[in-house]
Amino acid sequence: MASEADNKAQPPAGSAHFDRLALIGVGLIGSSIARAARRGGLANAIVGCARTEKTRDKAMELGIVDAMYEDPADAVAGADLVIVCSHLGSYATVGKTMAASLMPGAIVTDVGSVKGCVARDLGPHIPEGVHLVPGHPVSGSEKSGPEAGFAELFDGRWWILTPGEEADALAVQRLKAFVQALGSRVEVMTSSRHDLVLAITSHLPHLIAYNIVNTADDMETVTQGEVVKYSAGGFRDFTRIAASDPEFWRDVFLNNREAVLETLGRFTEDLLALQRAIRWGQGDTLLRLFSESRDIRQRIIQAGQDTEAPDFGRRSEPPAEAD
Amino acid sequence: MASEADNKAQPPAGSAHFDRLALIGVGLIGSSIARAARRGGLANAIVGCARTEKTRDKAMELGIVDAMYEDPADAVAGADLVIVCSHLGSYATVGKTMAASLMPGAIVTDVGSVKGCVARDLGPHIPEGVHLVPGHPVSGSEKSGPEAGFAELFDGRWWILTPGEEADALAVQRLKAFVQALGSRVEVMTSSRHDLVLAITSHLPHLIAYNIVNTADDMETVTQGEVVKYSAGGFRDFTRIAASDPEFWRDVFLNNREAVLETLGRFTEDLLALQRAIRWGQGDTLLRLFSESRDIRQRIIQAGQDTEAPDFGRRSEPPAEAD
């Protein structure tokens, strides 16, 4: 393992390579970063940190890290790049625990889905001379845990960086090169803009998915067996979204409250208008609104953010009989 | 082509085989039935009907039918099984047009997503001695058109039949055998129960998907470019659902108004409770509701109605760069 006593030459400005990469948390995102960093040869050593022994053992067994630690302080010692990949709710504790061990000149970033809270929770613990550059890879899966990760998760996806106005330009440049080398495309924006864009593109969709699944579960007149049985009509796609990690999403909604409530208000207004069109049999209104949705779908496919392969029928993976 | 003058022996009660299968409409479902029926050798002749010359030519070119007609009356002449695969809004016209040409003893069914309206719209046009047995294959895709169909669409999926109380038992039995031979599992229920179950498992999810896509489109503070750009965070999965045929869904909502409004009312109540939990920072409530959703997902996978393969990351199909 490289130690902070190593006498290293200053890396070139655009270098995507780091000496010691420390991942605080090795779930879906953390373990995927480890895999992609190894694929690209982006660090001399990759170390991780996890609270439970089970996760630490799993990560070592998968061979995606060189060492695993229980204490964030041990993981970040000597690291020139630290990526916080734990739940948003853990940031203040993680920051406090690792603060004293952060190496001067190190870059600290994160992968959280809300960015406004990073300066609030991690910021106060970042020592002078260490560079905080919050970030967010906009890709994911409903799966979680180290075994769910894969090196291709970021390929062609966006990775948003939200450096504050005071951020060190060289640190931003090096982090940018690193996430590009992981396979991502990079965008830089303010944390408040990020939180609003993500509220509509990610947080609201997840909230709605959770809600519809719970509504279905609660419907007294329809047994659960029937809802599950006929879920191929559209419902199962919501359950796929709603299968994401509950703790992760709790933290997102608690930390992006304002933007989520704003978009939720707009959603409800629009839904009431649709409800009214149904009640009054306004077929033209329904047709117009439904047609507009289709256009957006086409733009997403053109932007390379999804494939055109049919998915409802799950053609490529015919379902097994119930077992 | 077999004619109605042919002197045929009475088929055995459980026979899935028909002499002439007429499909009124050869879109996703109609063309998939044609393919699956051919795969199973379930009819001596398969004929179709489509309003536009383009669709008729396409179906012939694909080789999925033996003949295509413009007039439903010509398609159903001599057919012992007629399947109406056109939009719900066309049923009254289709019924009126084909009524006089229906062969005595023929079975007429449909594949519409709402069942209560079939007796109302098709019923009056079914002559004495012809058997109306409404049906609905609970499977689909966001794609439409004859080229979107595939023979495996029904494999392992449910096909619901909603015969009225007066329905001919032999006709129900034969239709049951036929859809099973297409690959489906069959369930029989009343049309009102069907319409309520589907309202929650299919119609509400589609309505919500359309609505969230439109809300995103309308958000003045977020450009469309950004919504599309960061759609991989969850939003794109809603656009996939909302890419379904707008005319098809207009007809569904106009024809299943009561059940949709009922489930929508419950959905909105639940959503307001979630909104309140976010506003007041009630993390425990959020965690409990999100955890329940995950359980339902597991039951759907266990029931063989979806696969466990991660989909958010679209691992099997890495996206191309924008072109």
Interface mutation vs chain B, best among A250, A285, A298, A315, most B CBs within 10 Å? A250
The conformation of residue A187, written as its DSSP 8-state character, comes to E
Question: Does residue A10 belong to any structural domain of this protein?
Answer: no
User: A143, A158, A189: which is the final residue of a domain?
Assistant: A189
> Do the beta carbons of residue A163 and residue A133 sit within 8 Å?
yes
Please tell me whether residues A26 and A175 are part of one structural domain: yes
Please tell me whether residues B25 and B100 are part of one structural domain: yes
Which sign, positive or negative, has the C-alpha torsion A212, A214, A219, A223?
positive
Q: What b/e string do you get for B13-35 counting C-beta neighbours within 10 Å, with b at 16 or more? A: eeebbbbbbbbbbbbbbbbbbbb
Q: How confident is the model at residue A81 (pLDDT cuts 50, 70, 90)?
A: very high
Question: Does residue A208 belong to any structural domain of this protein?
Answer: yes
Please tell me whether residues A176 and A46 are part of one structural domain: yes
Q: How confident is the model at residue A304 (pLDDT cuts 50, 70, 90)?
A: confident
Counting Cα atoms < 13 Å in the Cβ hemisphere of A59 gives: 32
Question: Of B264, B306, B322, which is closest to A319 when you measure between CB atoms?
Answer: B306
* β-sheet with A81-84: strand ranges across: A67-69, A43-49, A18-24, A81-84, A107-110, A131-132
pLDDT tens digits, A196-233:
999 998 899 999 988 988 888 877 556 557 888 887 77
Rounded CA gap, B166 and B202, in Å?
28
Quote the domain boundaries for residue A213.
193-302
- Name the domain count of chain A: 2
Q: Tokens standing for B138? A: 């609970």
- CB contacts of A196 in chain B (<8 Å) are 221-222
Q: Do A293 and B155 touch (CB under 8 A)?
A: no
Q: What is the pLDDT along chain B (323 residues), one digit of tens a residue?
A: 444 444 444 556 678 999 999 999 999 999 999 999 999 999 999 999 999 999 999 999 999 999 999 999 999 999 999 999 999 999 999 999 999 999 999 999 999 999 999 999 999 999 999 999 999 998 766 677 899 899 999 998 899 999 999 999 999 999 999 999 999 999 999 999 999 999 998 899 999 989 988 888 877 556 557 888 887 777 887 777 777 788 989 999 999 999 999 999 999 999 999 999 999 999 999 999 898 877 777 777 777 767 665 554 444 333 333 33
Please tell me whether residues B216 and B260 are part of one structural domain: yes
Please tell me whether residues A126 and A261 are part of one structural domain: no
Question: Does residue A314 belong to any structural domain of this protein?
Answer: no
> Do the beta carbons of residue A139 and residue A127 sit within 8 Å?
no
Question: Does residue A235 belong to any structural domain of this protein?
Answer: yes
Q: What is the 3-state secondary structure (H, E, C) of B229-279?
A: HCHHHCHHHHHHHCCCCHHHHHHHHHHCHHHHHHHHHHHHHHHHHHHHHHH
Q: What is the mean pLDDT of residues A49-69?
A: 97
Please tell me whether residues B292 and B145 are part of one structural domain: no
pLDDT tens digits, A246-284:
898 999 999 999 999 999 999 999 999 999 999 999 999
What's the CATH number where B248 sits? 1.10.3660.10
Q: Do B266 and A323 touch (CB under 8 A)?
A: no
- The rounded Cα B104 to chain-centroid distance in angstroms is 27
Rounded CA gap, A32 and A64, in Å?
9
Q: Do B293 and A233 touch (CB under 8 A)?
A: no
Question: Does residue B318 belong to any structural domain of this protein?
Answer: no
Question: Of A196, A309, A318, which is closest to B317 when you measure between CB atoms?
Answer: A309
Residue type, A175: L
Length in residues, chain B = 323
User: B160, B189, B218: which is the final residue of a domain?
Assistant: B189
Please tell me whether residues B204 and B265 are part of one structural domain: yes
Beta strands A18-24 and A185-188, pairing class: unpaired
Question: Does residue A185 belong to any structural domain of this protein?
Answer: yes
Question: Of A200, A226, A319, which is closest to B222 when you measure between CB atoms?
Answer: A200
**pLDDT for A149 beyond 70:** yes
pLDDT tens digits, B238-264:
777 777 788 989 999 999 999 999 999
Please tell me whether residues A254 and A185 are part of one structural domain: no
Residue type, A14: G
For residue A316, which of B297, B138, B153 has the smallest C-alpha distance? Answer: B153
ipTM of this predicted complex? 0.84
Question: Does residue A62 belong to any structural domain of this protein?
Answer: yes
User: A165, A189, A213: which is the final residue of a domain?
Assistant: A189
At residue A110, what are phi and psi to the nearest 5 degrees? -145, 180
Which residue is closest to A242 within chain B, CA to CA? B293
What pLDDT does residue A313 have? 42
Q: Residue B7 contacts by C-beta under 8 Å, 6 or more apart in sequence? A: none
Please tell me whether residues A180 and A197 are part of one structural domain: no
- CB contacts of B299 in chain A (<8 Å) are 224, 228
Which residue is closest to B28 within chain A, CA to CA? A313
Please tell me whether residues A139 and A178 are part of one structural domain: yes
Q: What b/e string do you get for A130-158 counting C-beta neighbours within 10 Å, with b at 16 or more? A: bbbbbbbbbbbbbbbebbbbbbbbbbbbb
Question: Of A207, A215, A230, which is closest to B198 when you measure between CB atoms?
Answer: A230
What pLDDT does residue A235 have? 81
Question: Does residue B199 belong to any structural domain of this protein?
Answer: yes
> Do the beta carbons of residue A181 and residue B259 sit within 8 Å?
no
Please tell me whether residues A169 and A43 are part of one structural domain: yes
Rounded CA gap, B84 and B75, in Å?
11
Please tell me whether residues A257 and A110 are part of one structural domain: no
